[in-house]
Structure 1
Amino acid sequence: MWQLISKKLYFWNIFENTGSITIAVMEEFHDYTMMFLTIIITFITVFIYRLMTTKMTNYNFKENINLEIIWTILPMVILFMIAYPSLYYLYLFDLSMKPTVTMKVFGAQWYWIYENFDTEKGQSYSSYMTPDSELLNGLPYKLGWRLLETDTRLVVPYGTEVQCLTTSLDVIHSFSIPELGIKIDAIPGRLNSVTFQVTKPGVYYGQCAEICGTGHSFMPICLEALV
């Protein structure tokens, strides 16, 4: 019974499983903000309900200085309590201490090009979507998600800070892996940077999040974190 309930809760979960510190912090901030939203909606609903159902009317109620001060200061306090952690996490995500690995990602029509930076030599390789015929005719343990599996995966070490530099060779693309909290635009002539740290080994899938042409739906991202 409990296994069935846990499976239902898993499928009804809003977010995917957290695979990095970035997405874990995002989920924590989401829950923190939803707490204030739930309190405000509940208060307004109860207040409107009492106004609609009460039979008492106060015709002499003109003004209340204390009430006006409360409903002016209280929203300011709530906004400050939401804005402070929001700005803190925003600057924290942009902070890069000392990345262990630096990867460069090129967006092209319609595939990805990955390049490893190494002290001795760099290695560049392209990543294309695996066709359905190869998925069906391949080995069972190599079967992946349709339209998400690629012939070459982006391999990064698990548990270390990874810096990803993105750019594009033609039009604007977007390097996005939701399970890791990564979404960064690949713009021609511009180099964007994002830093992340995978908290558990595994395979993580993503797609281009920018409409870049007719092959937009067929340039997936497949990242594999190894120990």
Structure 2
Amino acid sequence: MTMYNSLLLQDTYNNVGTEVLLFHDYSLMVLMLILVMFLFFMKIVFKSTKFMLKGYYSSELLEFSWTLVPGLLLISLGVPSLFLMYFMEGATKYDLTMKAIGHQWYWSYEINEFGGELAFDSYMNNEIQNSTYRLLDVDQHVELPYMTKVRVLVSSTDVLHAWALPSMGIKVDACPGRLNLLSIYSFRPGSIFGQCSEICGVNHSFMPIHLEFSDWNNFLKGIVT
């Protein structure tokens, strides 16, 4: 999760988050390259003894260059983003399925697997004394096994919501009357926090998401009990 005075992105828990982080850094590198080139040519123009463009009317090479170079830069950004978009769709086979349903203004979760049924509502923890993370802690968190392919079915009962986990680089809209699907996979245990990322009303800021990744034994104990 993001800590105080943090300038960088959050630590990632899965491959998707790592790829999103790398693409973010690569995009910034391309933007810095464009900025440096622009400032360099501006310096040449304004610091020269006479303007280079005076009496310069046309050049096929120049027109070809300022068309080709931006096109190559866009391709260098578009191709990785398309690969990343399809990579974020996840696997076709899953070990576990969970439902996340948005309400005004809380989340409800359902897990019906391995002969057990688990369904509960998750509200923000309003007791500041018992809350470790302000506006992010909930009264009942979701416990999932790590190193496991989990399919999440996201929907809503009233208005548009968004189930977002920045540490995993995923965000999916919760639409009334529609099921959206996403895949989550954590390669290490730990706690992941998120929030609703779609303006859904007056208490939109108070819909936190808390996932706890642990081993299979703890997960199955929660399902059975």
Indicate conservation of the 8 Å contact 1:201/1:225, yes or no.
Answer: yes
Q: Which amino acid aligns with 2:13?
A: G
Q: Which amino acid aligns with 1:35?
A: M
Q: Using the TM superposition, give the Cα deviation of residue 169 of structure 1 relative to its aligned residue in structure 2, in angstroms.
A: 1.4
What secondary structure does 1:50 align onto?
A: helix
Indicate conservation of the 8 Å contact 1:21/1:196, yes or no.
Answer: no
For the pair 1:40 / 2:34, whether they are aligned, the reply is yes
Structure 2 unaligned blocks of 5 or more: 216-225
For the pair 1:155 / 2:136, whether they are aligned, the reply is no
| Aligned residues with identical type, % of pairs | 36
Q: Which amino acid aligns with 2:48?
A: T
2:218 corresponding residue in structure 1:
none
Q: Which amino acid aligns with 1:109?
A: Q
Q: Which amino acid aligns with 1:112?
A: W
Q: Which amino acid aligns with 1:13?
A: L
Please, what TM-score do these two structures have when normalized by structure 2?
0.86
Counterpart CA distance in 2 for 1:95 and 1:179 is 16
Indicate conservation of the 8 Å contact 1:174/1:209, yes or no.
Answer: yes
Indicate conservation of the 8 Å contact 2:16/2:87, yes or no.
Answer: no
Counterpart CA distance in 2 for 1:84 and 1:42 is 23
For the pair 1:92 / 2:87, whether they are aligned, the reply is yes
**Distance change in 2, residues 1:112/1:55 (3 Å):** same
Q: Which amino acid aligns with 1:184?
A: V
1:144 corresponding residue in structure 2:
132
2:120 corresponding residue in structure 1:
125
RMSD: 1.8
Indicate conservation of the 8 Å contact 2:45/2:51, yes or no.
Answer: no
2:15 corresponding residue in structure 1:
21
Structure 1 unaligned blocks of 5 or more: 1-9
Stretches (4+) displaced over 3 A = 57-60
1:109 corresponding residue in structure 2:
104
For structure 1, which segment, 98-107 or 112-121, has the greater mean C-alpha deviation from structure 2 after superposition?
Answer: 112-121
For the pair 1:216 / 2:216, whether they are aligned, the reply is no
Q: Using the TM superposition, give the Cα deviation of residue 12 of structure 1 relative to its aligned residue in structure 2, in angstroms.
A: 4.1
